[in-house]
Chain A
Amino acid sequence: MIRPAFVFNLLVVTSFPALCSGQATDPPDYEKQIKPLLARHCYICHGALQQKGGLRLDTADAIRKGGHSGPAVKPSDSAGSLLFQAISGSGEVTPMPYKRPRLSDAEIALLKRWIDAGCPAPENEVVDESLSRRYSHWAFLPPVRRPPPMVQGNDWVRTPIDRFILARLEAVGLAPSPEADRVTLIRRLSLDLLGLPPTPEEVAAFVNDPAPDAYERLVDRLLASPHYGERWGRLWLDVARYADSHGYSIDAPREIWKYRDWVIAAFNADLPYDRFVIEQMAGDMLPNATLEQRIATGFHRNTPINMEGGIDQEQFRNEAIYDRVNTTGTAFLGLTLSCARCHDHKFDPISQREYFQLFAFLNNCDEPTLDIATPDLIARRDALRSQIRVLEEEQNKYYLDKLSRMSEAEKSRVKPEIIAILSLGVEQRDEKQKQAVVEAFKDDPAVVERAKTLADLKKRLPKFPTTLVLQERPKPRETRLHIQGDFTRLGDPVSPGVPAVLHPLPSDPNPNRLTLAKWLVDPANPLLARVTVNRLWQAYFGKGLVETENDFGTQGEPPTHPELLDWLATEFIANGWSQKAIHRLIVTSAVYRQASRHRSDLVEKDPNNRLLARQNRLRLDAELVRDAALRASGLLHARIGGPSVFPPQPDGVYRFTQLQKTWNTSTGPDRYRRGMYIHFWRSAPYPALQVFDAPDGVNCCTRRTRSNTPLQALTLLNDEAFLEFAQALGRRLLREAPGSDADRIVLAYRLCLGRSPSPEESDRLLRFVEEQRKSFKEQPAEAAAFAGRTETATTDPIETAAWVALARVVLNLDEFITRE
């Protein structure tokens, strides 16, 4: 396991708006600098939609004219201008923006200079009403932290979150649900925080813990578990579109699991989210970047690579960058930037030009493969490689000489494929082709001798992991706008920049990818914290406070609890971007701890449970379906990280892919690793993951769908891997509960569901076991086949088969694959 060295010299993240272009003495540019600033902070109350105090600030004329209190500015006299007094908090006027965050010092200084310069502005400025509308969109305004509301049901309240939720419920006359029972709570918490169900011992310890803080201590223990990083890391890998192959048609394997492990370690270390973002966006550009910081840039190397013959390389280089822009938008801003690739965004204030300004930040990297080894080892590898290269060239020269000396008749006996291979350069031939040529000349001892030496050299090549990273080019590429999003139709050059609707870029003479990363995590960013806490919330309740978790733009759904969203977002920033702190806050809340049982009184008033008068039952994510079965059966090999693994999968997966994939089924412990470590081929994902809605690893995925299909049933009932889990669980029941049938059924329930069966359930399962025992007795061959490996020579295969059948039932229960 790697431990990222999160030593971070540089980062006192500056929220220093770079509002100064050119000389500090030049008057600020009204269109480029003053207007966006006023739009962001003031238009919501003093624009086309509203004119509080009779004042509007959306044209320079209107500013000069002022409102009920008189002109807003006295040109050349900032101190005497109402506008300046209001924003700087000097003078008698009410400080502005009213009840919203104040302008930054740099912004205030900029306005001051503009007023002192005489308020220069272009003639004939026209009112653009849409500007007011777009800038007034809630998500583009900074979050406002309001105190949690007062509520009637103070007894219920455990955290500030609960006040926001309860206030809404009380307003519509709904009561929250009672707290879930303790077994449900520990299973819910374990699945949510670790992605693994609790063991019976863990359940018993918690249920019997009389301490008033038993729940909070449980939360702390789980948050400190290394499995926390796996559970939450996997959700981040959805966003990062992580996969173990290149995608497109060839879909060759790739090695980038070091990035996956970096993510897990970052979550476990609770790496502050601002650093988490910066290192992934631009870790390579940090001063004295560590190995881990470079590995982190694998985030944007998860883009597919097209290796199909005959492609235009430049086209797919651009495709990857579009993807990086779009993913940056979705992951960190909750914005549908991709809409602005071909034209100005139809709904949100993002122009096509701004899209390509963002593109310009990301258009300047090389995409190397990083060797993860000691310098010695790398040097040895490189030396061997150059030896190999020399020898291969020598071999090739020998072939060509030989060919040129042949008579026409001799030549005609050489297969055309071989001639074709020899017409390629040595670099272009793959190993198979090289082997074919050796084979064709196998009568020539000189060829065979050299081939043998080469094979020996290749065998001696040291093996070590590699990973894909970004590396900034010393000289930036020129970025031009792509007319209608077509990279072959280049428009005007654009320089790196950010959408005007958002906060300004930090000051930097040569803004680059690192500047963009710092801009993303600037506390002035109204989106990053909101979008992130919303995704965390979504994982706990099934839907976010903003249901359109990937669209905070004007077409997205407004938040159900806007004050709560803003409270959480500001809390996130204030706590130093600690995700664990937010997790703790949410899972210790009363709203999270509610029972999930449906209530008839909610059907009318809140059919979709948006007000959260109860918890939601959620089907487990694809990997967790496997993980839960591994844990219950006792097979789980809990190793964290490392190369991807190949557990059994059904035959025939690759009959539908262009190229056959290798799937050397893991034997030994790797067969029983968690679902997140299964090698993910983009063109043909592991079927048991795919049927349970694992994302495709191609597009940034911020929310998984939860389908419920017959193919899922077939997987749990019949898949080889799941049969193996049932067999192991059956054997475990026999081994660990040697008493009565009823005891074994209790153990099965405790291992799988955390709880004990009801008498009815127990009776029904007892009848089932008896029925199976009887029929296996009549069909001993079926019993032997179904029971699989039996524990010892003396274990009765019929008895084992009956308990495997029972185990298979429990592993197929809806409750087993559901977080209640």
Chain B
Amino acid sequence: MPTFVYMTRCDGCGHCVDICPSDIMHIDKKYRRALNIEPNMCWECYSCVKACPHQAIDVRGYADFAPLGHSVRVLRDERKGTIAWRVKFRDGRVKNFLSPITTKPWGSAIPDFRNEAEPTQAERDSELLAFEPESIRLDDGGLHTLESNGLKLKEGVYY
């Protein structure tokens, strides 16, 4: 079963239940810990693995084609802005990878439009979107149109 949960590590906090895009991480009623209730609807997306504060969730590849004896572990650190992977092959070889996940402190650079200037009527009547046209080319160039690019739409067979 793609994701599974180690009995002794899980404390039933439910972070995995909260994040699973497929709604398949549930809390077992008897043990009060998480489990994957529908392995064949699991994408191995690792959202639950990354969200688990106790590294209690792991993945065992799909039984139809993946032999036992491997592991792909991950540690995602929002504060550092990094993700670390360890790939362990069936024959014991190991590969490690480290990547950035963000360049800014979480949420700090997202605009709340309620704090920004209201768009003008001219902007409303134009084809421009928020922060355009500057955000398209980051210079003083305008929005491309059929006219500006010397084009027209013509019915028929053209390749």
Do they bind each other?
Answer: no
- Which A residues contact B (CB, under 8 angstroms)? none
